[in-house]
Amino acid sequence: MTLVHPPLAAAMIHGVESDGPTVASTNPARLDEVVAEVRLGGAGVLVAAARVARAAQRGWADVPAPVRGSVIGNFGRLVEENADALARLVTREIGKPLTEARGEVQEIIDTCRFFLGEGRRLYGETVPSEMPDKQLFTFREPVGVMMVITAGNFPVAVPSWYLVPALLCGNTVVWKPAEYAAACARALTELAWNAGLPPGVLSTVPADGAATAAGLAQALDAGLVDKVGFTGSTEVGREIGALCGRHLQTPCLELGGKNPMVVAPDADIDLAVEGALFGGFGTAGQRCTSLGTVIVHESVYAGFRRRFAAAVENAPVGDPTRPVLYGPMLDAKFAAAYERHLGLIRGHHTTFGSTAVGRITAAAPRRGFVGDPAEGLYYHPVVVDGVRPDDALFLEETFGPIVGLATYRDLDSAIELANAPGYGLSSAIYTNDPSTVFRFRRGISAGMVSVNNSTSGAEAHLPFGGNGRSGNGSRQSGRWVLDQVTRWQSVNWDYSGRLQKAQLDTAVPEADLAFRLEP
């Protein structure tokens, strides 16, 4: 049902009025349904939000960390109490199957539960000095104002990876969500505000790419932003990295992936097929951790291919409110980009997995489709056999329901193939041989390795992030993210009553290093 008066998702900044053009956020599963009218903020709105955040930051940092942790706990409880409504909004706005949307909301709850306790564990250290009557200490301090820019494929979970630890550690945050997920952002911000955040501590500004780039540059030039967190494409990540580098800042970059799965000769083939199906086609392949290429040992290739083909052909696709493997593309721009990637299929490739390739329509139907494909942005799943290391399809992130298939003869060549695209986010290997596991772990460039599990599926207390084209080595989630949202301060306190100079005045007892035991 089309909403007669869809809600407005506009900038949410304490004490600042914003104006700008309005665009519609539509349900990609039902294109005639407007989920929200989105008022886009310009560069000046982002700068204004950063000024508000700067003004609020010192007061928030002065709140004791355990108390800030209690606010994070309140946030988690509010998300839990509103879990069903939030999950349904995620499904409506980006088309993620309801089961997955509920899992995404649970990840926020898990993140809040973890960082609730971290409010009492923001430990520094007491370090022994080489001088008498002197003490050394270390302290974690907030970095200051953080600007967070996120994609919309995980419209509430991934933002929580930034927001929760940043706020816990005493930072203030300006969040720029994806325009096509602005209603989800509004809902999450309202939940955070009602958890007890003081005014100005968290602002949310929907904006397009050009306004975001200009606003971030202006805020950095004005000294209003101390840290940037970005989840999105490698191309944009490079630009943000270069911009931050000019200000001697290191951003937290979580970028794309071309994630490999290796199937060893001793693998449980049925389990590997299950992992490939979920990793490759969950969320319609629109995850940064989505499976890119399955690299199968030639001795088990035929059996894997046969069973994988059957699994993909029989997987339910369609209406995300019903039990399906995946629903629509996130938005029209992603559908258009995916169609361009389908153009990378070449004559030496063989495709299978569905009754057609491309958009699911009345003229190109999907057997067993759930619902009416004419209502949304639905695409056939496709497996491309015969991909080669020099194929663009092998090398580039495709961000859609497409998986490549290749073979290997020995583990070293499998690792070489897995690393060839230059991404380094997630990876998987299916084997029951510990030596194979550890050889793969040591050789793979990915920041995350799964054994007998999918390339997708992070737990809230484990570090998440990649290397190479997938990021700059920063990590999110768990205690490891604290190094992104805090800075270390060291203190030396000399109470000897005189100036003691380290290295120069250190008194070391003399030793007779020429001493030897009698034979």
For residue 375, CA distances in Å to 5, 152, 156, 259, 369 come to 21, 21, 25, 31, 12
pTM of the model: 0.95
For residue 290, CA distances in Å to 83, 319, 428 come to 25, 21, 11
DSSP H helix total and E strand total for the chain: 15, 20
Quick one: which H or E segment has residue 176? Answer: strand 172-176
Residue type, 468: G
3-class state of residue 484 by DSSP = helix
Residues 38 and 47: their CA atoms lie apart, in Å, by: 19
Provide the β-strand partners of residue 126. Answer: 137
Alpha-helical segments (H) within 329-401: 332-342, 392-395
Residues 209 and 232: their CA atoms lie apart, in Å, by: 11
DSSP label at 442? Answer: H
Q: How far apart are the first and last CA of the chain?
A: 96
Q: Which of 107, 254, 339, 518 is catalytic?
A: 254
Residue type, 161: W
C-alpha torsion sign, points 293, 296, 302, 308: negative
Cβ pair 289, 259 in contact under 8 A:
yes
- pLDDT on residue 124: 93
- pLDDT on residue 5: 65
Whether 254 sits among the annotated catalytic residues: the reply is yes
Note down pLDDT in tens along the chain; length 519 residues. Answer: 343 468 999 999 998 878 889 999 999 999 999 999 999 999 999 999 999 999 999 999 999 999 999 999 999 999 999 999 999 999 999 999 999 999 999 999 999 999 999 999 999 999 999 999 999 999 999 999 999 999 999 999 999 999 999 999 999 999 999 999 999 999 999 999 999 999 999 999 999 999 999 999 999 999 999 999 999 999 999 999 999 999 999 999 999 999 999 999 999 999 999 999 999 999 999 999 999 999 999 999 999 999 999 999 999 999 999 999 999 999 999 999 999 999 999 999 999 999 999 999 999 999 999 999 999 999 999 999 999 999 999 999 999 999 999 999 999 999 999 999 999 999 999 999 999 999 999 999 999 999 999 999 778 899 999 999 999 999 998 999 999 999 999 999 999 999 999 999 999 999 999 999 998
Work out the widest C-alpha separation in the chain, in whole angstroms: 98
Q: Which of 141, 288, 313, 416 is catalytic?
A: 288
- pLDDT on residue 19: 83
Whether 252 sits among the annotated catalytic residues: the reply is no
